[in-house]
Amino acid sequence: MTTQTVRASGSAPRPPEHRGGGRIQGGLLDPKQMVTSLPDALRKLDPRTLWRNPVMFIVEIGAVWTTVLAALDPSVFAWLIAAWLWLTVVFANVAEAVAEGRGKAQADALRRAKTDAVARRLTGWARDRADLREERVAAPDLRQGDHVVVEAGEIIPGDGDVVEGIASVDESAITGESAPVIRESGGDRSAVTGGTKVLSDRIIVKITQKPGESFIDRMIALVEGSSRQKTPNEIALNILLAALTIIFLLAVATLQPLAIFSRSVNPGVGDGPALDAHGVTGIVLVSLLVCLIPTTIGALLSAIGIAGMDRLVQRNVLAMSGRAVEAAGDVNTLLLDKTGTITLGNRQAAEFLPLRSGGADELADAAQLSSLADETPEGRSVVVLAKQRHGLRERTPGELSHATWVPFSAQTRMSGVDLHESGNGTPDRMLRKGAAAAVGEWVREQGGDVPADLHRIVDGISASGGTPLVVGEVVDRTARVLGVIHLKDVVKAGMRERFDEMRRMGIRTVMITGDNPLTAKAIADEAGVDDFLAEAKPEDKLALIKREQEGGRLVAMTGDGTNDAPALAQADVGVAMNTGTSAAKEAGNMVDLDSDPTKLIEIVEIGKQLLITRGALTTFSIANDIAKYFAIIPALFAGLYPGLDALNIMRLHSPQSAILSAVVFNALVIIALIPLALRGVRYRPSSASTLLSRNLYVYGLGGIVAPFVGIKIIDLIIRFLPGMS
């Protein structure tokens, strides 16, 4: 299975922060974003929109009722409360509008890539090819199954698969990567995206999209948030917040009869804006309700979900649903391809093993000579190793004018060189490099013997997961085996550490490979994965995913080929490579535009960061209520029940300033937490119990302490306002 992007220029992908035109980076709150998002925030005050957020819908109703009461019985206190309740709703809408605005910047860049190009549609494709005719139609008029021809300089009019030809394609409008990629018929690099540009050659594309449902159309809808559906956890948390709101609504409602009864027992005590002859005033009841319900997390919940998808977009990953991002945070098992994911994908020469002592330099010289014309990564690595380990200068084929190069062939399974130094037409020295059996047979044909030690060395390399290449030589009609080159499929740097992190997170890693079990075990041990599946076929991957899911685990995997589609569809998180086939991209619930299979690990970390951020801010929001109790309840009822004055530990100036301070803090804390909601709580790989303890300590304790400090500071500022005595 091919999992690496083929880049025509051979350039490496750029870091995520430099990709994509118009993308908003980072998680910090830019004041300009707030200003540009304010019109959207005001539009979201429409009750037909806001009712989907029950907590903020209650706050808006309270703001309307407070405004009516302030108009009927005007006072500075009443109008200040009404104003800050409206600001609370607006700030909540700003949080969501800013999160959506960050995605709209990416959507604008995608719209620029979406063109209504003219397509060169081929008619008669399903019939006799001799009857093929070309007609020009508008790109939106294309239907599934149509075939179009695209040549150099033309825009691909729709999503599809290359069925004929090979071309270099500029996908910078989609991926932000300037280096072109190769698309060709057959294999796993046949998918093309509408709006990209063919740079060379000619291809015929079979359209796979439905009208108006192109890849770019779906990307625009997703990054703007217009098609974002709430995830199961988000829905469950909304239900919990709605339940808490109802509980606090009932609790606040019971305060009114309590106050009326208390006033009947102690008439004339505690009169003022908070209490009057009819009990607790309506403005104070609304203020108390708004301060006690979980407004903070209710305001930020949607922004957290949108920001989680935006963080994936920043890394050039398109999530087809918020459910996929959330599932990534709960993943228990990661299925990772060996080639291109865990290993570099190209075998590298690691060691020269001579068959006689002191023959290492001789073996290195012969191995380098036989590899000079070998342009494969393996051949180049042999030349480099000989230079680095044995001080041999890097020669070029052009320097050896008397050499005849023997290319590798599947029949001989060898390559090498014949050196004609004497110039008499007969090779003075012949070198061969290749499979052990092939080189051994060649040495015997030349009249030499194969040492018994050769089989021991070859078997040892194979058992360790490496590939042995035997080097043989014929000089003066004497044939012999010089030694063995050890080729290794090199594990990427830092993979063991990353898998250790996964283990601390409670995630089991499984390596998928087509290698034999011995080679697979050696690579698995070196990389540090928990398990491996050797000689894997598509049906084996699907069976493994089903077994893991039957055990109650969530599974994530990557893939790019049509044969990966069933497994991608079955996995809870299926990340399809953008270089892959249309079937793979349709089956997965995420698409990696950079086609980097190692990004699956980053996706899991982003999913976990989303869940942790949501949990941390929920903890902070609920913990806030404790301080608000101490601010409002003693100030409200201390006149009726002097014993409650002992709970007034903040010693706020007056009941009016206490209530207003709590309402102001309740609104300002939303604005203060927007950057954290957008950026996400910093994630450190650790166990669930450690994360829970840290969140309780930082956000639970912080949620209790912060309101005490904030409300007291606000009280010191507003105590001098008229009507706050």
Answer whether 337's CB lies under 8 Å from 513's CB.
Answer: yes
Tokens describing residue 347:
């075998």
The token pair that represents 289 in the structure block: 């309700």
346 phi and psi angles, rounded to 5 deg: -115, 125
**Helices (H), ranges, 467-598:** 495-504, 517-527, 538-550, 565-570, 582-587
DSSP run (H or E) holding 442: helix 436-445
- CA–CA distance, 568 with 562 (Å, rounded to integer): 10
Amino acid symbol at 203: I
Tell me the C-alpha distance between 423 and 651, whole Å: 106
Q: Is 480 helix (H, G, I), strand (E, B) or coil?
A: strand
Residue 496 burial class via C-beta count within 10 angstroms: exposed 0-12, middle 13-18, buried 19 and up: middle
Q: For residue 196, which of 213, 211, 210, 216 has the smallest C-alpha distance?
A: 216
**Residues 97 and 40 sit within 8 Å (Cβ to Cβ):** yes
State the Cα–Cα distance between residues 577 and 585, nearest whole angstrom.
7
Please check if 261 is assigned to a binding site. Answer: no
Beta strands in 63-209 (DSSP E): 118-123, 133-138, 147-151, 160-170, 181-184, 191-192, 197-207
The pair of structure tokens assigned to 287 is 């203020």
- The answer to whether 378 is a known ligand-binding residue is yes
Instruction: Tell me: is residue 411 an annotated ligand-binding position.
Output: yes
500 is in an annotated binding site: no
The DSSP 8-state label assigned to residue 397 in this structure reads G
DSSP track, 210-231? PTT--HHHHHHHHHHTTTPPPP
Consult the annotation and say whether 172 binds a ligand.
no
Alpha-carbon gap, residue 432 to 413, rounded angstroms: 10
Determine whether the annotation assigns residue 161 to a binding site. Answer: no
Confirm or deny that 414 is annotated as ligand binding: yes
Cβ distance 154 to 139 under 8 Å?
no
Alpha-carbon span 44 to 59, nearest angstrom:
13
Q: Is 73 a catalytic residue?
A: no
From the candidates 188, 337, 596, 715, which is the catalytic residue?
337
**Which stretch of DSSP H or E encloses residue 618?**
helix 599-637
202 within 8 A of 164, measured Cβ to Cβ? no
Between CA 543 and CA 317 the distance in angstroms is 27
Q: What is the distance between the alpha carbons of residues 621 and 703, in angstroms, rounded to a whole number?
A: 7
C-alpha separations of 482 from 209, 397, 464, 469 in Å? 58, 22, 21, 11
Query: How far is C-alpha 226 from the geometric centre of its chain's CA atoms?
Result: 20
* H-type alpha helices, 266-294: 282-292
Residue with tokens 């060996």: 338
Residue 246 CB neighbour total at 10 angstroms = 13
564 marked as part of a ligand binding site: yes
Cα 710 from Cα 620, distance rounded (Å):
14
Is 415 annotated in a binding site? The answer is yes
433 is in an annotated binding site: yes
Structure tokens at 655: 């009941």
Largest CA distance in the chain: 128
Q: Is 410 part of any known ligand binding site?
A: yes
Q: Produce one character per residue of 569-589: b if its CB has 16 or more CB atoms within 10 Å, e if not.
A: bbbbbbbbbbbbbbbbbbbbb
Question: Annotated binding site for Mg(2+), which residues?
Answer: 560, 564
Residues known to be catalytic: 337
Question: Annotated binding site for ATP, which residues?
Answer: 374, 378, 408-415, 433
Question: Annotated binding site, which residues?
Answer: 374, 378, 408-415, 433, 560, 564
